[in-house]
Structure 1
Amino acid sequence: MTHGFDLNDRLQQRDAQDLRRHLEVAESVSARTRFADDPKGGAPVFSDEMAVFASNNYLGLADDGRVQRAAELGARTIGTGAGASRLVTGDTRVHRALERDLAACKGTERALVFSSGYAANIGTIDALGPDVVFSDELNHASIIDGCRVGASETVVYDHCDPEDLRAKMAARADEAAAGEDEQWLVVTDSVFSMDGDVAPLAAICDVVEEYGAWLMVDEAHATGLFGDTGGGIVQREGLSDRVDVQLGTLSKALASQGGYIAGDEVLIEYLLNAARSFVFSTGLSPPNAAAAREALRIARETDRATDLWDTIETLRDGLETMGYEVLGETQILPVVVGDRGDALELADRLRDHGVVAPAIRPPTVPEGTSRIRVAPMATHTADDIAQCLDAFRTAGAEVGVL
């Protein structure tokens, strides 16, 4: 009898289901770069340069000189690492400056920076300890895991459907009527990463307020891109005073690393004492905090986002004119292929034509809706965009999906 783990068998199962993934080394984080297959213990051997339409670096700031200089200054003046949990000695002036700027753009009293958006989601839901979480069925994995860790019960409502949320809350209210009052938390992404659509936040606020619950909105794919202050969909819709917990990431449009929670004074004071992923983690590194702060300034004070939206419109129009179905209404352009095999082959053919855009297939998306997820950057040039569209036209014909 053995009590170990047969990982070879697990990997073979992933191979059989076309679910095995492999690491790939990128030479740089930019609109164009070279890639190398996983070198294991060796040195990478890079391919020809390709156009990258597969990054969450939406504003193209990860290799921006201003952001790089801010990171360097943070390292030189404070240190390369925080050195400890922020509750010990790892809380620095650059953390506080970033949090002030985040709170300003989110329209809240305070913000709290975590080591990642994942840590912020798990730590916050666990610290709140809700009796019930009502969660959109397409919420990010970090929200799902936060519910597993911190919620007594999770009720999933239909995607972006306030009426189904209302029905689920009404049913729960009937069940709980004879018992003690429960604490309810509704959690939704604002921009959904696989469909590129936007949650109907105002309608969700109406339902949440009807039942006296709390609302938590994850703005991971919206921070820096929406609203006059770059806060996100909550700010674009003028809902700052109706959302109890605003969450986001520093690793996408803000080109750094980390996550944050924004809310009122009491919420932040409670989380910095009770969120285990904050209390027991070394603070975000000063260079990352400084880089995120500068990226947020650029997002708020320049026209960088306008450049991105122009690129998005050109790509969407071009792809739809070819005959592709493109979902969503945001910077994420899911190009529906349908069949899993066709999507994987299309992604391979796109690479043959110098364009990196990943195939997304079940179980990440429903059966029959496999897709190519196109994520442009503000720094893509007209030539990059033309190359992308030409690649989709040629590769689509080769695979037989056009």
Structure 2
Amino acid sequence: MTKETEPRPSGGAEGTEATNEGDFGFDPAARLAERDQQGLRRTLQPVEHVAARSRMASDPGGEKPRYGAEQIVFAANNYLGLTQDERVVRAAREAAEAVGTGAGASRLVTGDTGLHRGLERDLADAKGTERALLFSSGYAANVGTIGALDPDVVFSDALNHASIIDGCRLSDAETVVYDHCDADSLAAAMADRSRSSTPDDSWLIVTDSVFSMDGDVAPLADICDVAERYGAWVMVDEAHATGLYDGGGIVQREGLSDRVHVQMGTLSKALASQGGYVAGSTALVEQLANAARSFVFSTGLTPPAVGAAREALRIAREEKRHEQLWDRVSRLRSGLEALGYDVLGTTQILPVVIGDRSDAVALAERLRERGIVAPAIRPPTVPEGTSRIRVSPMATHTEADIDRCLDAFEAAGQELDLL
């Protein structure tokens, strides 16, 4: 029952004084000031083109962007450089002309088209599963899938993406965090939890395959071994791997399609579009279509996004563009290490560890002055003392682009006494 209170005076009338019994509003300016004080405030920086090279603008607020000189972008997840490929652009245009610019409704109403079903068949084939289901984003796919599975316990890698963390929270499952990329830590956590489990409990292990800030790869085969020991399900987020291994991801590279129950990924990185997907059994897909709230209550993915992603997936599977990417990655990693930088990971994501946050920010600024866009990543995104420059080359970067990036790292590093 709500406690009764006396009505507030209306105020404003002659001979009366307005009173304020409480302030239950918000103060976004104060919150922004706090972020400024902590060095955590971010700004939007519009780009002119989503490509290996682009002009960029400082945050214009509500005004029109004013672009500066062209710079080389080593900060995007457009790994195969397909966002401006004429075939992908044409596929998006043809989808809009044939189907429409938007789906117009939830997939469960009238937003389900033959185009959506075609991409889902292609994704299922690439991932070695019976079915696939499209979501409006990778974030929505993770949150909706974990919620729809409704596990009793989730075992989550310590460095999993925020969408996985939020999915665990929203599912109201007990969440057990195990040490990063450590199957022994996972096994110990499951052994400990098994002492208080019941036969009816459902357990889900969730991990990224490629981790976006460290560029390393989860030991998926070992994780599957542990899962099978306890009868748990395995869910793998392939956001930063989809399309880079003959159209598939790390699950396909390691031959684990039949051991991973839930394969999630995005269309917005290597596949140069927008949206997310989940691939798995027919029963899984049907359950998600009925119970994943982020699917049920969202308008279907736009036809141009579907058309673009389908063509990008075809190119990724049929051509060898990924080989060009790995060549650029190897050249850049070797060059950075030769300069004396500490580069983490084994994938297309090259985290250059600087340590001190102010040094990392300063290095990013000096790189920008030399025409290289590569962001500084600092706490709380990464642990204290591990601030870094996150470098991600594209297949469409030229050898001259790679050399210019290395020259910028060398000159800026020497100026800041980092080398």
TM norm structure 1: 0.98
Pair 1:343-2:360 in alignment: yes
Tell me, yes or no, if the aligned pair for 1:190 and 1:198 is still in contact at 8 Å: yes
Matching of residues 237-252 of structure 1 within 5 Å: 237-252=254-269
Q: Secondary structure at the match of 2:69?
A: coil
Matching of residues 94-105 of structure 1 within 5 Å: 94-105=115-126
Q: Secondary structure at the match of 1:222?
A: coil
Q: Distance in 2 between matches of 1:307 and 1:38?
A: 33
Corresponding residue of 1:201: 220
Tell me, yes or no, if the aligned pair for 1:34 and 1:47 is still in contact at 8 Å: yes
Q: Secondary structure at the match of 2:263?
A: strand
Q: Secondary structure at the match of 2:107?
A: coil
Corresponding residue of 2:83: 62
Matching of residues 244-393 of structure 1 within 5 Å: 244-393=261-410
Displacement after TM superposition at 1:6 (Å): 1.9
Q: Distance in 1 between matches of 2:116 and 2:415?
A: 51
Deviation above 4 Å: which 4+ runs of structure 1? none
Q: Distance in 2 between matches of 1:373 and 1:75?
A: 35
Give the alignment partner of residue 120 of structure 1, picking from 135, 141, 148: 141
Displacement after TM superposition at 1:194 (Å): 0.3
Displacement after TM superposition at 1:230 (Å): 1.8
Letter in 1 for 2:341: Y
Q: Distance in 1 between matches of 2:374 and 2:38?
A: 20
* CA-to-aligned-CA distance 1:5-33 (integer Å, 9 cap, x gap): 22222111111121100001100100000
Letter in 2 for 1:45: R
Displacement after TM superposition at 1:180 (Å): 5.2
Q: Secondary structure at the match of 1:376?
A: coil
Q: Secondary structure at the match of 1:26?
A: coil
Q: Distance in 2 between matches of 1:41 and 1:106?
A: 42
Corresponding residue of 1:129: 150
Tell me, yes or no, if the aligned pair for 1:132 and 1:152 is still in contact at 8 Å: yes
Q: Secondary structure at the match of 2:194?
A: helix
Query: What fraction of aligned residue pairs are identical, expressed as a percent?
Result: 70
Q: Secondary structure at the match of 1:363?
A: coil
Pair 1:396-2:388 in alignment: no
Give the alignment partner of residue 74 of structure 2, picking from 46, 50, 53: 53
Give the alignment partner of residue 52 of structure 2, picking from 12, 31, 48: 31
Pair 1:80-2:101 in alignment: yes
Unaligned runs of 5+ in 1: none
Give the alignment partner of residue 182 of structure 2, picking from 136, 161, 171: 161
Tell me, yes or no, if the aligned pair for 1:133 and 1:151 is still in contact at 8 Å: no
Give the alignment partner of residue 218 of structure 1, picking from 220, 237, 246: 237
* CA-to-aligned-CA distance 1:200-255 (integer Å, 9 cap, x gap): 000000000000010000000000002xx421000000000000000000000000
- What is the number of equivalent residue pairs in this alignment? 398
Q: Distance in 1 between matches of 2:403 and 2:221?
A: 38
Q: Distance in 1 between matches of 2:63 and 2:352?
A: 36
Displacement after TM superposition at 1:44 (Å): 1.2
Corresponding residue of 1:188: 207
Letter in 2 for 1:78: V
Letter in 1 for 2:340: G
Q: Distance in 1 between matches of 2:108 and 2:292?
A: 12
Q: Secondary structure at the match of 1:188?
A: strand
Q: Distance in 2 between matches of 1:180 and 1:97?
A: 40
Q: Distance in 2 between matches of 1:290 and 1:230?
A: 16
Letter in 2 for 1:307: Q
Q: Secondary structure at the match of 1:299?
A: helix
Q: Secondary structure at the match of 2:352?
A: strand
Unaligned runs of 5+ in 2: 1-21
Displacement after TM superposition at 1:151 (Å): 3.7
Q: Distance in 1 between matches of 2:111 and 2:196?
A: 46
Provide the alpha-carbon RMSD of the alignment.
0.8
Displacement after TM superposition at 1:43 (Å): 1.5
Q: Whose radius of gyration is greater, 1 or 2?
A: 2
* CA-to-aligned-CA distance 1:61-84 (integer Å, 9 cap, x gap): 001101000000000000000000
Q: Secondary structure at the match of 2:258?
A: helix
Tell me, yes or no, if the aligned pair for 1:99 and 1:111 is still in contact at 8 Å: yes
